Amino acid sequence: MAAINRDDVAHLAQLAHIEMSDAELDKMAGELAVIVDSVKSVSEAAGADVPATSHPIPLANVMRDDVVGHVLTAEQALSGAPDTEDGRFKVPAILEED
Protein backbone atom coordinates (compact mmCIF):
# COMPACT_ATOMS: atom_id res chain seq x y z
CA MET A 1 0.00 0.00 0.00
CA ALA A 2 1.20 3.41 -0.90
CA ALA A 3 2.35 5.73 1.86
CA ILE A 4 0.02 8.59 2.61
CA ASN A 5 1.36 12.01 1.66
CA ARG A 6 0.34 15.61 1.96
CA ASP A 7 -1.49 15.69 -1.38
CA ASP A 8 -3.47 12.61 -0.38
CA VAL A 9 -4.53 14.33 2.81
CA ALA A 10 -5.51 17.46 0.87
CA HIS A 11 -7.69 15.34 -1.41
CA LEU A 12 -9.23 13.49 1.54
CA ALA A 13 -9.91 16.75 3.34
CA GLN A 14 -11.72 17.97 0.24
CA LEU A 15 -13.81 14.77 0.08
CA ALA A 16 -14.58 15.10 3.79
CA HIS A 17 -15.35 18.83 3.47
CA ILE A 18 -12.88 19.95 6.10
CA GLU A 19 -10.87 23.08 5.36
CA MET A 20 -7.24 22.59 6.37
CA SER A 21 -4.27 24.91 6.48
CA ASP A 22 -0.92 23.88 5.03
CA ALA A 23 0.44 23.30 8.51
CA GLU A 24 -2.51 21.07 9.38
CA LEU A 25 -2.09 19.08 6.21
CA ASP A 26 1.58 18.48 6.96
CA LYS A 27 0.89 17.44 10.55
CA MET A 28 -2.00 15.18 9.54
CA ALA A 29 0.02 13.52 6.80
CA GLY A 30 2.72 12.63 9.32
CA GLU A 31 0.26 11.25 11.85
CA LEU A 32 -1.75 9.30 9.31
CA ALA A 33 1.37 7.73 7.86
CA VAL A 34 2.18 6.29 11.29
CA ILE A 35 -1.38 5.07 11.86
CA VAL A 36 -1.75 3.59 8.40
CA ASP A 37 1.55 1.81 8.83
CA SER A 38 0.39 0.31 12.10
CA VAL A 39 -2.87 -1.03 10.70
CA LYS A 40 -1.58 -2.42 7.44
CA SER A 41 -1.05 -5.90 8.88
CA VAL A 42 -4.82 -6.19 8.75
CA SER A 43 -4.80 -6.56 4.98
CA GLU A 44 -2.64 -9.66 5.28
CA ALA A 45 -4.51 -11.24 8.18
CA ALA A 46 -7.37 -12.97 6.43
CA GLY A 47 -7.39 -15.11 3.32
CA ALA A 48 -9.78 -14.73 0.42
CA ASP A 49 -11.95 -17.54 1.81
CA VAL A 50 -12.81 -15.62 4.98
CA PRO A 51 -16.20 -13.91 4.70
CA ALA A 52 -16.62 -10.32 5.85
CA THR A 53 -18.62 -9.55 8.98
CA SER A 54 -20.55 -6.30 8.77
CA HIS A 55 -22.79 -6.86 11.79
CA PRO A 56 -21.63 -8.53 14.98
CA ILE A 57 -24.96 -10.29 15.51
CA PRO A 58 -26.48 -11.50 12.21
CA LEU A 59 -30.09 -10.41 11.71
CA ALA A 60 -32.19 -10.18 8.55
CA ASN A 61 -35.49 -8.71 7.36
CA VAL A 62 -35.95 -6.19 10.12
CA MET A 63 -38.75 -4.12 8.62
CA ARG A 64 -41.59 -1.98 9.82
CA ASP A 65 -45.18 -1.82 8.60
CA ASP A 66 -46.08 1.07 6.32
CA VAL A 67 -47.99 2.98 8.99
CA VAL A 68 -47.57 6.71 9.61
CA GLY A 69 -45.90 7.52 12.91
CA HIS A 70 -44.80 10.73 14.55
CA VAL A 71 -43.78 13.91 12.75
CA LEU A 72 -42.09 17.06 13.96
CA THR A 73 -43.76 20.42 13.56
CA ALA A 74 -41.98 22.75 11.14
CA GLU A 75 -41.01 24.81 14.17
CA GLN A 76 -39.37 21.79 15.82
CA ALA A 77 -37.73 20.77 12.57
CA LEU A 78 -36.19 24.21 12.12
CA SER A 79 -35.45 24.83 15.80
CA GLY A 80 -31.76 23.94 15.65
CA ALA A 81 -30.99 25.46 12.26
CA PRO A 82 -28.37 28.16 11.87
CA ASP A 83 -30.54 30.03 9.35
CA THR A 84 -34.11 29.68 8.09
CA GLU A 85 -36.58 31.53 5.88
CA ASP A 86 -40.25 30.87 5.12
CA GLY A 87 -40.33 27.56 6.97
CA ARG A 88 -37.30 26.27 5.15
CA PHE A 89 -33.59 25.84 5.87
CA LYS A 90 -31.57 28.65 4.31
CA VAL A 91 -28.19 27.87 2.82
CA PRO A 92 -25.66 29.98 0.95
CA ALA A 93 -25.40 29.80 -2.83
CA ILE A 94 -24.53 26.41 -4.19
CA LEU A 95 -22.55 27.64 -7.16
CA GLU A 96 -19.89 30.30 -7.15
CA GLU A 97 -20.70 33.57 -8.88
CA ASP A 98 -19.13 33.71 -12.30
Q: Which of 3, 7, 8, 26 binds another protein (CB under 8 A)?
A: 8
> How remote is the C-alpha of 33 from its chain's centroid?
20
Number of residues located near another protein, criterion CB under 8 A: 76
Choice between 22 and 69, CB closer to another protein = 69
**Which residues within the stretch 22-81 sit at the binding site for another protein (CB under 8 A)?**
24, 28, 31-32, 34-36, 38-46, 50-74, 76-81
CA distance linking residue 88 with residue 84, whole number of Å: 6
- Min. distance of Cβ 22 from another protein in angstroms? 13
Supply the minimum distance, in Å, between the C-beta of residue 67 and another protein.
7
Compute, in degrees rounded to 10, the torsion defined by CA atoms 35, 39, 41, 46.
Answer: -160
Under rule CB under 8 A, residue 87 binds another protein: yes
**Sign for the pseudo-dihedral over CA of 44, 47, 50, 51:** positive
Nearer to another protein, 22 or 42 (CB): 42
Using alpha carbons, list the distances in angstroms from residue 47 to 1, 50, 54: 17, 6, 17
